[in-house]
């Protein structure tokens, strides 16, 4: 599933192509995505100009005077701006038509993505209102203090704690593994056992990993491609994720893997001992 850097990469690619464009209509070839495609896409939004392309966690937000569209890429979705007359392929489910003859096309082979209407106040939408803070919107001291306070009654493993979107958003499976490696923290360590200084250090590492991944264009593992159809390149820099049995880049100890919360977790038993 695309994580925060991949979604942010998509947002940055789409922003200059969408700002100021008016929505003229929609072509819905398959409304049966994770949730039905928002009917407001055809009933309320035609004629509205797109004034902002934002992101909250892994959701994209298209802002118009007639309300917000909330888009999620699911496990395999991608968004491209291309001429509306371009023949659709098998998994091209929705086109948002634009006034310059282009369209914003959602391609989603697994159909776990979504296009929803979030009204005038997207922060109050059911999918957004309980989300934790954005990790890149504050300094590491503030984020670390927040993580420390939120962890005090949590005996859950710190990796699962970081992946809880009600605690902090955007630290998905890949980047949780990478950040914990850089911080020298074993993924199974209880969140409540970490000190405040340890969380401040971890917060700084999380911010660095996410910023580097965004700068590199996101991480391509299987399905993701950005809005230009080009893959991200951060996968070349992964230290532990997907490297089971390979030598640690720091100490040459073989990287280990285990299942945590039904997700694969990777760590170095020496560097994260």
Instruction: List pLDDT tens digits, range 64-120.
Output: 999 999 999 998 888 999 999 999 999 999 999 999 999 999 999 999 999 999 999
pLDDT at 236: 65
Least confident of 19-33, 35-49, 233-247: 233-247
Secondary structure element (H or E) that encloses residue 61, with its range: strand 59-64
Whether residue 150 sits in one domain with residue 199 = yes
Domain that holds residue 192: 140-267
Whether residue 207 sits in one domain with residue 99 = no
Whether residue 72 sits in one domain with residue 156 = no
Domains in the chain, number: 2
Give the confidence band of 154 by pLDDT, cuts at 50, 70, 90. Answer: confident
Whether residue 251 sits in one domain with residue 219 = yes
pLDDT at 50: 98
Final residue before a domain boundary, out of 124, 156, 191:
124
Please confirm, yes or no, whether 189 is among the known catalytic residues: no
Whether residue 172 sits in one domain with residue 217 = yes
Q: Is residue 45 situated within a structural domain?
A: yes
Q: Could you identify the residue written with the tokens 């990287």?
A: 255
Please confirm, yes or no, whether 2 is among the known catalytic residues: yes
Binding site for DNA: residue ranges? 91, 110, 154
- Residues 178-235: tens digit of each pLDDT: 999 999 999 999 999 999 999 999 999 999 999 998 888 766 555 555 666 665 656 6
User: Which of 11, 55, 56, 58 is flagged as catalytic?
Assistant: 58
Whether residue 255 sits in one domain with residue 147 = yes
Q: Is residue 148 situated within a structural domain?
A: yes
Q: Is residue 273 situated within a structural domain?
A: no
User: Which CATH number goes with the domain that contains 196?
Assistant: 1.10.8.50
Q: Is residue 191 situated within a structural domain?
A: yes
Whether residue 179 sits in one domain with residue 231 = yes
Binding site: residue ranges? 91, 110, 154
Please confirm, yes or no, whether 243 is among the known catalytic residues: no
Whether residue 153 sits in one domain with residue 112 = no
**Which three-class secondary structure string do you get for 69-116?**
EEEECCCCCEEEEEECCCCCCCCEEEEEEECCCEEEEEECCCCCCEEE
pLDDT at 84: 96
Please confirm, yes or no, whether 120 is among the known catalytic residues: no
Q: Is residue 131 situated within a structural domain?
A: no
45: its two tokens: 């939004």
Predicted structure pTM score:
0.89
Spell out the alpha helix ranges (H) of the chain.
Answer: 4-18, 40-43, 140-151, 158-162, 173-183, 196-215
Q: Is residue 96 situated within a structural domain?
A: yes
Whether residue 174 sits in one domain with residue 77 = no
Across residues 140-168, what is the average pLDDT?
96
Q: Is residue 231 situated within a structural domain?
A: yes
Give SS3 for 171. coil
User: Which of 22, 189, 256, 263 is flagged as catalytic?
Assistant: 263
User: Which CATH number goes with the domain that contains 103?
Assistant: 3.20.190.10
pLDDT at 246: 97
Round the average pLDDT of the chain to a whole number and report it.
92
Q: Is residue 133 situated within a structural domain?
A: no
């Amino acid at each position: 599933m695309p994580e925060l850097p991949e979604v942010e990469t998509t947002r940055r690619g789409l922003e200059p192509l969408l700002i100021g464009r008016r929505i003229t209509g929609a072509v819905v070839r398959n409304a049966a995505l994770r949730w039905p495609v928002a009917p407001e896409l055809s009933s309320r939004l035609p004629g509205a100009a797109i004034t902002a392309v934002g992101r909250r966690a892994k959701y994209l937000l298209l802002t118009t005077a007639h309300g917000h569209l909330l888009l999620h890429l699911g496990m395999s979705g991608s968004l491209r701006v291309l001429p509306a007359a371009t023949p659709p392929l098998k998994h091209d489910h929705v086109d948002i038509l634009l006034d310059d003859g282009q369209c914003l096309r959602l391609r989603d082979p697994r159909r776990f993505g979504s296009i929803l209407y979030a009204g005038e106040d997207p922060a109050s939408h059911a999918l957004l209102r309980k989300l934790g803070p954005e990790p890149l919107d504050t300094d590491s001291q503030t984020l670390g203090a927040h993580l420390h306070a939120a962890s005090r009654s949590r005996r859950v493993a710190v990796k699962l704690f970081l992946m809880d979107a009600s605690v902090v958003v955007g630290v998905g499976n890949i980047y949780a593994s990478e950040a914990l490696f850089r911080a020298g923290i074993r993924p199974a360590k209880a969140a409540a056992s970490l000190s405040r200084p340890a969380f401040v250090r971890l917060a700084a590492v999380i911010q660095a990993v996410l910023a580097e991944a965004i700068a590199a264009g996101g991480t391509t593992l299987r399905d993701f491609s950005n809005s230009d159809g080009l893959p991200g390149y951060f996968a070349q820099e992964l230290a532990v994720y997907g490297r089971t049995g390979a030598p640690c880049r720091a100490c040459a100890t073989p990287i280990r893997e285990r299942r945590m919360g039904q997700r694969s977790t990777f760590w170095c038993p020496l560097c994260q001992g």
